[in-house]
Amino acid sequence: MSRIILWRHAPTPSNEGGVVQGRVDTPLDAAGVARAQWAARRIADRFIARDWPELRIYSSPLLRAVQTARALTERLGGTVIIDDAFTQRSYGEWEGLTWDEVRRDWPEQWAQRERGVDPDVPGWDGQDAVAARVLAGLERIWDQDSPAVVVSHGSPITLGLLAAIGEPASSLALGRVPHAACASVRKVESGAWHIEAFGIGAD
Amino acid sequence: MTRVFIVRHGETEWNARGLLQGSSEVPLAPAGREQARQMASALAGLVSPDAVLVSSPLSRAHETGLALGSVLGKPVAVDERLRERAYGPWEGITPEAREQGWPQQVRDWHEGGNPHLDGFEVHEVVAARMVESIEEWATRAPGDLVVFSHGSSARIGMMGLLGLSLGHRTLGNLGNTCWSRLRRRPDGRWTLERHNVWVDVLYPGVGE
């Protein structure tokens, strides 16, 4: 039984400091790498069946994702396949601000985002486009005989899963997978996607 | 904001043999009691101190709930609406016998539909009673609510709470003593935060 594991990158110092990253290419520090290694061990032990064929490991091109993916290839072998379908959305002019600054200086746009709609922020990547590109990536890499791990980011994982189960990108039915945690999804015979697990590896 | 933990019962002998239980009364197997004990020690540290516990009347769920109740020193209320979906003639027979006797109905069921089968409780009915019960208990609970239920009714109940289409199996079934967590948003609707968490992923070393 195949599956795709969607793994959110380990936290960077910007994540810990509440800074919006988006396409800003922030690397993990030593603590982040250690979190990735811990999570890689849980994924290898609990999601990867011993009799599976060679595992394909995809990653967003951003450093924090690639470094997280490498924690798994160091354990299991193989190489990280960089795939733009799984990159983070652009947060436009919010990138580099702290979330506190966003709430203070962009209150209307913040409220829009809380309601599940795209905030009116210059340079923002719209959620329908993000959802469609992630789902297209999942459809392209799905193989019923070969499992895969995809290292991605908070918004693309949630938006891609919503698209996979036929929900609009504005739906608030799914939360965010925490940093270094994962979700597991597979495609069943009818062609429908099926969320097996979500937010695994966090309290 | 209320959180609801939805927990599936521990393993029974029928689970181990791949039989549908539905409304049938099947007790926990020894392995299921051990799973319940591990789940209880993990969840005791995750739920709020004022958590309310409620269970399906079927003993496999109620006994699983009592494992957490005894750690927390709390009673486990029983609500009839949290019982498992009734499967009619499919309860207690092997997957092969299901396939032989009702091939078309098994196909419909696997594709997420409602098979036409006497005594089979359809998705919409299961969703309605589960949602009504969980909403009612969640509204009354001062803190977290912990619900002990079953593979099919828990899944359908969550899909109902989240407003997901019941025509597809968008969420997978919970494993034995695995749980999900939902949070009620300020607008009164629900967000899925965890699905199918099992204890040894959270706490390395347990059960290995």
Q: Can you give the pLDDT of all 203 residues of chain A as single tens digits? A: 789 999 999 999 999 999 999 999 999 999 999 999 999 988 888 777 666 667 899 999 999 999 999 999 999 888 999 999 999 999 999 999 999 999 999 999 999 999 989 999 999 999 999 999 999 999 999 999 888 999 999 999 999 999 999 999 999 999 999 999 999 999 988 889 999 999 998 77
Task: Among B111, B163, B194, select the one facing A173 at the smallest CB separation.
Answer: B163
Angle between helices A127-141 and A154-164 (to 10 degrees): 70
| pLDDT given for residue A156 in this prediction | 98
| pLDDT given for residue B199 in this prediction | 65
Chain B, window 164-203: residues with a beta carbon less than 8 angstroms from a chain A beta carbon:
164-165, 168-172, 180-181, 183, 185, 189-197, 200-202
Q: Is B33 on the interface with A (CB under 8 A)?
A: no
Q: Which residue has the tokens 């521990």?
A: B10
Beta pairing partners, A182: A7, A200
* ipTM, 2 dp: 0.94
Contacts of A199 in chain B (CB under 8 A): 181, 193-195, 197
Alpha-carbon distance B207 to nearest alpha carbon in chain A (angstroms) = 12
Cβ within 8 Å of residue B98, ≥6 positions away: B20, B90, B106
Q: Is A119 on the interface with B (CB under 8 A)?
A: no
DSSP state for residue A22 in the 8-state scheme: T
Q: Residues in chain B with pLDDT < 50? A: 202-208
Beta pairing partners, B54: B77, B147
**3-state SS string for A144-180:** CCCCEEEEECHHHHHHHHHHHCCCCCCCCCECCCCCC
Q: Do B194 and A174 touch (CB under 8 A)?
A: no
